[in-house]
């Protein structure tokens, strides 16, 4: 196995990070993060269960001067505290254009205005999640937070990822792991 193969095998891209109940950083309390990239340089993901404050899809289209829209309501998520004015769309792979990045076999990410035009016009991907901002970790930072018992790692579930029931995503992700949040300890163990 080459070094590149080993790095790809240990990547957490395409998986969920589920905040532990005792998460100290209030910005990430009870969050589910879908990791879009993870490697030696760090990690990048989108919070998928928090709605953005003070902006609707219509507001966003107006800011981008997209006049025609057949979509009446698409939640705008708070993707994380980094570059909160930058937009990302996680979506099903039935839409894959220039600028789209494959994250998993079923999920891609696109950060172009073209995808918003397509969605507004009634096209675009069948499943989609729009987020402003992202969560980012420097080299080794995420691994340290996981080791310090800040996050649980889980296989991503597209039904949870694209669900409109934001309040239940964290609970459902925990249940998919077979974990009762009340039984979790805030203390990390060491062997």
The total number of structural domains in the chain stands at: 1
* Torsion sign over Cα 24, 25, 29, 34: negative
**Residue 94 pLDDT > 70, yes or no?**
yes
Higher pLDDT pick, 9 / 134: 134
Look at residue 17 and tell me if it is in a domain.
yes
Would you state the pLDDT for residue 35? 98
Mean pLDDT of the chain: 89
Q: Which domain holds residue 139?
A: 3-183
- Report d(CA 164, CA 174) in Å as an integer: 17
DSSP structural state of residue 121: T
pLDDT at 4: 42
Q: How many CB atoms lie within 10 A of CB 61?
A: 19
- In a domain? residue 101: yes
Q: What is the pLDDT of residue 169?
A: 97
Structural domain contains residue 188: no
Distance of CA 118 to CAs 2, 42, 122, 124, 151, Å? Answer: 40, 31, 6, 5, 35
- The pTM of this model reads 0.89
CATH of the domain at 160: 3.40.1740.10
**Which residue from 32, 25, 17 is spatially nearest to 152, judged by alpha carbons?**
17
Under 8 Å between Cβ of 87 and 116: yes
pLDDT in tens, 125-161: 999 999 999 999 999 999 999 999 999 999 999 999 9
Does the residue 190 lie in any domain? no
Q: Which of 129, 140, 134, 113 is nearest to 166 (CA)?
A: 129
Burial of 109 (0-12, 13-18, 19+ CB in 10 A): buried
Domain contains 189: no
Residue 191 lies in a domain: no
Res 9 pLDDT > 90: no
Q: What does the pLDDT read at residue 188?
A: 54
């Amino acid at each position: 196995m080459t070094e590149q193969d080993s790095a790809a095998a240990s990547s957490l891209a395409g998986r969920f990070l589920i905040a532990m109940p005792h998460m100290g950083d209030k910005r990430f309390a009870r969050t589910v993060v879908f990791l879009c990239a993870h490697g030696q340089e760090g990690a990048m993901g989108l919070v998928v269960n928090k709605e953005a404050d003070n902006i609707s899809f219509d507001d966003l289209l107006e800011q981008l001067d997209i006049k025609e829209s057949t979509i009446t309501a698409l939640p705008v998520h708070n993707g994380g505290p980094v570059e909160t004015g930058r937009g990302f769309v996680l979506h099903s792979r039935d839409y894959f254009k220039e600028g789209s990045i494959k994250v998993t076999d079923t999920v891609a990410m696109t950060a172009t205005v073209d995808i918003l035009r397509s969605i507004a016009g009634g096209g675009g991907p069948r499943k989609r999640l729009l987020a402003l901002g992202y969560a980012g970790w420097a080299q080794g930072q995420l691994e340290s937070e996981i080791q310090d018992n800040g996050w649980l790692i889980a296989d991503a579930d597209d039904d949870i990822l694209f669900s409109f029931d934001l309040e239940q995503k964290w609970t459902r992700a925990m249940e998919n792991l077979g974990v009762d949040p009340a039984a979790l300890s805030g203390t990390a163990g060491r062997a």
